[in-house]
Structure 1
Amino acid sequence: MTETPMREPTFLVLTALAAGPQHGYAVIEDVARMTDGRVRLRAGTLYAALDRLRVDGLIEVDREEVVQSRLRRYYRLAGLGEKRLAAETGRLRQQATIAERRLRALHDLGGAPA
């Protein structure tokens, strides 16, 4: 049975954590950077997603530290998360290849300019 496609925020959070362990605010900043500011995760949305991803076994808590009297939790990509991210990356690459091929064919047939 094939996994359902990932929602973009999930894909981006896992991609951010593929660079190494990060705390929540760093994930928010990394996602904004990766998308040139197009995607701005809100803290509530992010932490709900992190909890769900942890329960699903895609990420793990790496460590916790206290910064300015507040707990900062760092997350890392789990083995299952790495596998799912790789599978989703392959699926997206395959879809992009099909779209590129069809756009080239459209252009080659005298259709819309590229």
Structure 2
Amino acid sequence: MSETAFYILLTLTEPYHGYGIIKRVEELTEGRIRLGSGTIYGTLTKMQKDELITVFADDKRKTVYEVTQLGKSVMRAEMARLKELHGNVLRFEGDFL
């Protein structure tokens, strides 16, 4: 999973519209990741096609995105992969000093 996709799904623990996702990802990464509209909407379209998210309109007719159960399952697997990666970083980082 790309870092962009990871942070988008991480953001969608609650429903957000596109601009809200952009701001939340920026906040979570302390400004390191700033998503452009092409990147975010391309990723959201792929996630919807892959059934990782659902899309609906709120009462103000804004498009809102929310993670599905499949999306949550994929995130759990990705988090396990990243935990393993982190553990190996800690284990071997001294070899690269």
> TM-score, normalised to structure 1's length?
0.78
| RMSD, aligned CA | 1.5
Instruction: State which of 60, 67, 82 in structure 1 corresponds to 2:72.
Output: 82
Please state which structure has a larger fraction of its residues in helix: 2
Q: Aligned AA for 2:48?
A: R
Residues 15-51 of structure 1 deviation map (CA, whole Å, 9 limit, x = unaligned): 0002x00000000000000100000001121111111
Please state which structure has a larger fraction of its residues in strand: 1
Gaps of 5+ in 2: none
Structure with the greater alpha carbon radius of gyration: 1
Whose RCO is larger (CA < 8 A, sep 6+)?
2
Alpha-carbon distance in structure 2 between the residues aligned to 1:52 and 1:98: 31
Alpha-carbon distance in structure 2 between the residues aligned to 1:30 and 1:75: 13
Alpha-carbon distance in structure 2 between the residues aligned to 1:34 and 1:46: 15
Equivalent residues, number: 97
Gaps of 5+ in 1: 1-5
Moved over 2 A (4+): 62-66
> TM-score, normalised to structure 2's length?
0.91
Which residue number corresponds to residue 100 of structure 1? 90
Instruction: State which of 12, 17, 26 in structure 2 corresponds to 1:17.
Output: 12
Cα shift at 1:62: 4.1
Contact 1:62 1:74 in 2 (8 A): yes
Contact 1:57 1:78 in 2 (8 A): yes
